[in-house]
Amino acid sequence: MYETISNLILPILILTILTWGIVKKQPIYEHFVDGAKEGFGVSIKIIPYLVAIIFAVTIFRASGLMDFIAKPLALLTNNIGLPTDVLPIIFTRPLSGSAALGLFSELAAKLDPNSYTVKLAAIIVGSSETTFYVLSVYFGSVGIVKFRYALLTGILADIIGIISAIFVAQLFF
């Protein structure tokens, strides 16, 4: 039943919007084309930000900096229920969601998918945000350059999400 409902949500939403536009006697196709033009312009604006984020994540992983930071932290993190294998995901998630999912996939393939480490990593991926990606792409697309407080709030939310993920994983697993 849930699958049927989820398969119908998008078509119903599209038909509702089209019907509403017809009722209001709006030029639906022209509005669609205008929106597509605007979307194309926004995508051109955000390309430099996307390239910068991809470059930063690639350098972070390839340089060995991630491992260099993770190894000394292992002594501290293992005591609080945070396995060392999860640290690369924590470091990468604020930069790129796809890189974090790639690291998660590697971890799940390497370890038992039902292990505490993999379950904790899954909770962390689901409870944290791609803070730097959001700031660079979304703020960059509309020209916001002063995002100090948004950055601090995003990092704080990520930290709270990670702490909560550790707590929940320890509670349930």
pLDDT tens sequence across 38-66: 888 877 877 777 787 778 777 877 888 87
Q: Please tell me the predicted confidence (pLDDT) of residue 13.
A: 92
Classify residue 126: in a domain, yes or no. Answer: yes
Considering just the CA atoms, what is the radius of gyration of the chain in Å? Answer: 21
* Residue owning tokens 């993190």: 77
Classify residue 163: in a domain, yes or no. Answer: yes
φ, ψ for residue 142, nearest 5 deg: -110, 5
Q: Which domain holds residue 110?
A: 46-172
Classify residue 120: in a domain, yes or no. Answer: yes
Round to whole Å and give the CA distance between 131 and 56. Answer: 14
How many domains are contained in the chain? 1
Classify residue 86: in a domain, yes or no. Answer: yes
Classify residue 127: in a domain, yes or no. Answer: yes
Classify residue 160: in a domain, yes or no. Answer: yes
Q: Please tell me the predicted confidence (pLDDT) of residue 80.
A: 80
